[in-house]
Structure 1
């Protein structure tokens, strides 16, 4: 096994997920699945305009080295990302600043479950910011069961007490993917990574088999402007 972002061969455990975090760049299953796209059909060209939310260390380096000055890393809390230069961007308040049809690539992994506003509007506006040939790669935690969405007032301590340390204000459940994400963007009825990538590629990149053929937190959605339904 070898990390397809940095080339590392050593992996360490995460809670309830043995041997999945690259000990060199910190990549997880979802970031390595994203890298399968970015090292293949969606590899950015030099100067491509890229917006990367919550920029993972290895993926950020890969995108910056590939695209150069067109790469822009953003997050609501830039201090969480000392490995790269990050601009502050609040998806609930700053989303209107994105020009329609201006971006070649947008990447966000495990972001939508945190935003404290209407995620459908945010996702729609992100899609509209893509160029006609642009691509968005994204993932969310996907769990068995139902979808929930709850916003509460209060300070951080109040929200931590209510939602726990993950601060997930919504839960994307497999039972309602088509009625939630699937009403905003076109997503497959059935998820199967082996339809896009060879099994030996998935094994080499340390993507455990339970992520291959069902929706999980490592499932990467690849969408274009033509997939916008909302």
Structure 2
């Protein structure tokens, strides 16, 4: 991947940090977008000679989304062989059923982070790379929650379903790129801690997720990131519109 420019959002912790750390040792330039910078990523990039540019933005804020897209793509190197965008930034958002879901700001911020940021950054990448003849690959990190309803997760399920459909539409519109909406499985991240902190009345499936944690059934962010990088470089990449990394080695 020496001729690759990779962009990763939500790169300060969890799966995003692991993706960024692994890419830092293998790409020409790594661009990360998150409120805070992951120091291990910066150190790995420096040690490997990878150019690392970090954009400190809160992607739940539309002004920050626009600033990130403008800042990154105004100076994008147009001579790379491959461009990779991994829209990983996301949050669970407010948990609650129809009778308690009333915080409009929280709902809006979750849609901004989980959907709007991915749409605008993908748009910016597709515009910037059209006509270059480069290999352009986009991974939108989705969830099984976007494909199967879960009580209490009306916001989260809706955002991931929207991301799935946007990916399908963008594949039709941009034949010069390969795009996939990829579910990563159940990972041991801060989001899982947030899920376990939910109230049973808001989230009836709480016991199942508590058991997954107690029995060690959660995948590590590092192992999932490794599988995603292998998939990114494989011949199977984006062979499906909607995919699940658990279906790949």
Bigger proportion of residues as strand: 1
TM-score using structure 1 length? 0.41
TM-score using structure 2 length? 0.39
